[in-house]
Amino acid sequence: MTHLIDIITVLMMGTSLAVFGLRKYKLSIAAYALQTSLLVIVFLLLHVKYGAHELLIWAFTAFVMKVVFVPLFLLKLVNKLGVINEDEPVGGFFISPVVALSFSLAVSMMFYKVFIHFSIFKDALPLFAASFIFMIGIFGFILRNSFLKQILAYCLFENGIHLSLALMAYNSHELVEIGILTDAIFAVVIMGILAKRFYASYESLDTSKAINLRG
C-alpha cells in the first residue's frame, strides 16, 4: 500500500511539471485533471490504510469539484477566449521549467524533513511530493506570465496543500476540507472572471502588461 502511494505521488510530481511546462492550455488543463485524479486515488488509498471516513468524503468532493468542475470551467474559458498557447514566460519556455524544477526540489528537500517529524504519515516520498507540488505552484505564479497559467498554478499549489492535509492531518474535521475546497473553487471562478476582463482590456492574457499601478 505504501509503495503504491509512493508511486502515485511521484506521478503527481510529474503531472505538476506538465501543468507548469506545457505550452498548450488544453494539454495543461488535461494534465491538471490527471493530477487531481491521482490525488483522489491517494485519498482513497489512505482511507483504506487508516480507515478514516473523512478521507472518503474528501475523495468524493475532490472528484466532483476538482476532477470534473475546475477542468471543465477552465476549458470553457479557453474556448471562450479562443486562446491556444500561453504567452512567453519569465526567462523563456526552456529556462522557466528548469528554474522552477531546481528550486522546488531544493526547497522540498528542506521542507519534507521538517514535515516528517510531525506527520501522522511517516513515509518520506509523499511528503516530499506534497511540498514539491506546492512549490511548483508558487513558481508558476512567479515565472509564468499567462493569467490562465497562473490560475493553474493556484490549482497546483492547492493540490499540494490538499496532499499535505491528507498526509499530515487526515483525521481533522470534514468541514475543514469542505471549507478549504469551497474557497479554492470560488477562487478559481473569480480568477476566471478576472481573466476574461483582463483579456478584454489588454487583448492578451500576459500579466506582465499590467503595469499601470506601479509606484
Partner 1 sequence: MNILFLILILPFVCGAIMFVMPLKFKLLQNLHIFLSIIVSALLLCAVREVIQGVELSAFHHFIFLDSLGAIFLSLIAITGLLVNIYATTYMKWELEDGHITLSEVKNYFALSFIFTWTMSLSVVCNNIAFMWAAIEATTLASVFLVSVKKDKNSTESGYKYIVLCSIGLAFALYATILLYSAANGKIEGEAMLYTNLLANATSLDPMALKLVFIFALIGFGTKAGLAPTHTWLPDVHAEGPAPTSALLSGVLLKCAMLGLIRYYAIVANGAGFDFVQNVMIISGTLTLFISSFFLIRQHNVKRMFAYHSIAHMGVIAFGLGVGGAIGLFAALFHCAAHSFTKALAFCSTGNIAKIYGTKDMTKMGGMIHIAPLTAVLFGIAICSLVGVPGFAIFVSEFLIFKAAAIDGSYLLMGIFALALAIIFIADFSHFFLATFGKVEGKVVHNDEMKFSENIPLIALAILIVAFGVWQFDSFTLLLNESVKSIMKQ
Residue of the chain from 84, 90, 102, 183 that contacts partner 1 (CB under 8 A): 183
Rounded Cα gap, residues 21 and 183, in angstroms: 26
Number of residues counted as binding partner 1 (CB under 8 A): 44
Residue of the chain from 99, 169, 204, 206 that contacts partner 1 (CB under 8 A): 169
Residues paired with 24 in a beta bridge = 85
Contact status: 87 vs partner 1 (CB under 8 A)? no
Contact status: 138 vs partner 1 (CB under 8 A)? yes
Contact status: 141 vs partner 1 (CB under 8 A)? yes
Interacting residues with partner 1 between 145 and 164 (CB under 8 A): 147, 150, 154, 157-158, 161, 164
Using a CB cutoff of 8 Å and minimum separation of 24, what contacts does 141-144 make? 142/90, 143/89, 143/90, 143/91, 143/96, 143/99, 143/100, 144/20, 144/86, 144/89, 144/90, 144/96
Looking up cell 516520498 gives 125
Q: Within a 10 A sphere around the Cβ of 203, how many other Cβ atoms? A: 9
Residue of the chain from 18, 124, 125, 165 that contacts partner 1 (CB under 8 A): 165
Interacting residues with partner 1 between 186 and 215 (CB under 8 A): 186-187, 190-191, 194, 197-198, 200-202, 207, 210, 212-213, 215
Nearest to 27 by CA among 68, 66, 95, 75: 75
Rounded Cα gap, residues 102 and 136, in angstroms: 10
Rounded Cα gap, residues 105 and 175, in angstroms: 32
The CB-of-130 to partner 1 minimum distance in angstroms stands at 10
Write out the residues near partner 1 by the rule CB under 8 A.
114-115, 117-120, 134, 137-138, 141, 147, 150, 154, 157-158, 161, 164-165, 168-169, 171-173, 175-176, 179-180, 182-183, 186-187, 190-191, 194, 197-198, 200-202, 207, 210, 212-213, 215
